[in-house]
Amino acid sequence: MEVAVVWFRKDLRTVDHRPLRRAVECGLPVVGVYVFDPADYQKTRYGFKKTERFRAAFIMESVRDLRRELNDLNIPLVVRFGDPGEVFDALQEKMRISRLFFHEEIGSEEQTAERAVRQVLTAKVTIDHGHNLYDPDDLPFEPYAVPDTFSQFRKRIEKDGALLRPPLKAPQPLGKKLNVEEGDLPSLQELGLEELKQPLRFRGGMTEGLKRLQHYLFESDQLRVYKETRNGMLEEDDSSKFSPWLAHGCLSPRMVMEEVQCYEAERVKNDSTYWLYFELLWRDYFHLVHRRYGDDLFQASGLRDRVPPWERNDEHEAAWMEGRTGYPLVDASMRELAATGFTSNRARQNVASFWTKNLGLDWRVGASWFESLLIDYDVASNYGNWLYQAGVGNDALQFRAFNVVKQAKDYDPDGAFLHHWLPELSRVKPPKLFAPYEMTDEDQQKAGIVIGKDYPKPIVPLFDSVEKQKVKFLKAMK
């Protein structure tokens, strides 16, 4: 039985999916394949699971949804657990795979898996772009020559123009569905993960992604004020929360942009609608940086030629990961991340800055912790943002640190986010809430809390720690 296979990876959708369209148009019976690769569920060199239960559960829901969507198109989705090369080798015992279609991935691990699959197949392989707003070939510069700063990149796009393609429709259903053994999805336990203790914060799949898109734009009308609210840390509608669906390709950025344009035509076009586009551009930018610099993204020196004196310190690392540094903004954010697999952009910036600029720790360990826990983990966005925060990205070299106490005051003035995640501080009111270590004995008595017992004392002094790291960093990078 001769078939065309669509290999789904970080593109778990049927809309705006060129490989799927091509497969349907090639005239052969079509089979979708998704592989749970054990390599994605192993421990990293720092000892954390590469994929923790939040993301694994989101992927499972997304694969289930994809199976339903494909079923409506009369296309089976074969799901297997195993090394992709071996999985495809076994599949071709059952069917003659003469065409293979998939989306390009820029990560080296994904490309290694691709090579393994191509080695065992004789199929003609067709690869398409599909993860970004702009296809690399539609940019006004060579994709490997992405400008060194985001702002140069944005200006080039806005000045010289780039083609924003409309999203492709899902293909028409095929006449008949092939009868193949589709296989069950593995359980979390089979992936070596614990069960979820509470429902997943975001439901996986294109169906849910489309619902979120409709909700954020048209039902709640929040896009209108996105630019003002996007730095909020507590409310679900403070920002779009599209990232989980974008990271797994349940939505493509072009599907988002099409709806934004619709919203602009029907409701309002303002700074906020532009700003969502602006943020999606950041995502494209980091993908291009990854394309250009490859695995340099994972080096201690980042994109620099010198290595800052990063440290390892078990006690400090554990305090950061478990949310007990003594700095409420850091602790609330890290507890949120550990409990839900998500924390806001503002929170991510602050905790990454605290890790590198106050604690001077090896940024790769922090990034790897994020990689483990984040539902929306995206290799280029995660490592790109970490490089940026660590001061080893391709932007101008500077030592910029966030003041995590001031940031809490500015972005959580009534303390609602801090109180939500730090119940032991529930009776501590702003402004003391932002720096509880400054409370007098009398303050602590009134709030019914003992700093150092009920809530930790700071693990490092706020300003001195930054000064110390700054001197070391600038000396090493001179």
Q: Which residues bind ligand FAD (CB under 6 A)?
A: 230, 239-243, 246-247, 276, 279-280, 282-283, 286, 344-345, 348-349, 352, 370, 374, 376-378, 381-382, 385-386, 389
The single-letter DSSP state of residue 323 is T
Residue 279: CB minimum distance to ligand FAD, A:
3
For residues 17 and 170, give the distance between their C-alpha atoms in angstroms, rounded to a whole number.
7
Collect all residues with Cβ–Cβ distance below 8 Å to 467 and sequence separation of at least 6: none
Nearer Cβ to ligand FAD (394/444): 394
Paired with 36 in beta bridges are 81
Q: How many Cβ atoms from other residues are within 10 Å of residue 278's Cβ? A: 13
Residue 347: CB minimum distance to ligand FAD, A:
8
Q: How many Cβ atoms from other residues are within 10 Å of residue 187's Cβ? A: 11
The single-letter DSSP state of residue 194 is P
Residue 139: CB minimum distance to ligand FAD, A:
17
Nearer Cβ to ligand FAD (240/444): 240
Can you say whether residue 116 is alpha, beta or left, with left for phi > 0 and alpha for psi between -120 and 50 degrees?
alpha
Nearer Cβ to ligand FAD (344/444): 344
Nearer Cβ to ligand FAD (389/465): 389
Residues in the chain: 478
Strands 30-36 and 77-81 turn out to be parallel
Residue 275: CB minimum distance to ligand FAD, A:
8
Nearer Cβ to ligand FAD (74/152): 152
Nearer Cβ to ligand FAD (289/460): 289
Determine the residue type at 274.
Answer: Y
Residue 128: CB minimum distance to ligand FAD, A:
20
Residue 211: CB minimum distance to ligand FAD, A:
15
Nearer Cβ to ligand FAD (101/153): 153
Q: Which of 50, 51, 81, 46 is nearest to 63 (CA)?
A: 81
Residue 328: CB minimum distance to ligand FAD, A:
19
Round the CA-based radius of gyration of the chain to a whole number and report it: 24
For residues 131 and 153, give the distance between their C-alpha atoms in angstroms, rounded to a whole number.
18
Q: Which of 94, 255, 76, 100 is nearest to 183 (CA)?
A: 76
Residue 340: CB minimum distance to ligand FAD, A:
13
Nearer Cβ to ligand FAD (291/429): 291
Residue 297: CB minimum distance to ligand FAD, A:
12
Give whole-number Cα distances, 22 to 11, 172, 188, in Å: 15, 12, 33
Q: Which of 43, 44, 42 is nearest to 298 (CA)?
A: 44
Query: DSSP letters of 13-26?
Result: -SSS-HHHHHHHHT
Nearer Cβ to ligand FAD (386/434): 386
